[in-house]
Amino acid sequence: MRPVIPYVTAALLFGLGVYGVLRRRNAVLVLMSVELMLNAVNLILVTADTTARAVLPHSGQVFALFVIVLAAAEIGVGLAIVLQLYRLRATVAVDDVPLTEPSDPVGGREPVVLESEAGR
């Protein structure tokens, strides 16, 4: 097998994933782009394992399995964050997420003042 074809395919997939992360506004599409980049890395690992078996046997496949497990955990946490963002903001647009803390962290309720802070 010529390793050039999978390497070029992985580079195209990774480039498409980077483009998706940088250009998309929807958080779900950003997560899908990250998954595309992880799959490109898996393709490189498996291709490198099949072309260079001298170092450790099946080491690329083992690393690819770890990347798949990591991707599953990333999707679980990422989708939980996106669902919570949708519940709070009613949108999943990445541009609408504030990067600083809100001025009212309690959410419209009166802040609790402790007795030790009341005398200051």
- Tell whether pTM > 0.85: no
Q: Which helix (H) or strand (E) holds 5?
A: helix 4-23
pLDDT digits (tens, 9 = 90+) for 25-75: 898 999 999 999 999 999 998 888 888 776 677 788 888 899 999 999 999
If you write DSSP's letter for every residue of 43-74 in order, what string do you get?
HHHHHHHHH--SSSTTHHHHHHHHHHHHHHHH
Give me the amino acid identity at 3: P
Residue closest to 63 by CA, chosen among 80, 77, 42: 42
pLDDT digits (tens, 9 = 90+) for 65-82: 999 999 999 999 999 988
Q: At what angle do helices 27-51 and 59-89 cross, to 10 degrees?
A: 180
* Structural domains of the chain, with CATH: 4-94 (1.10.287.3510)
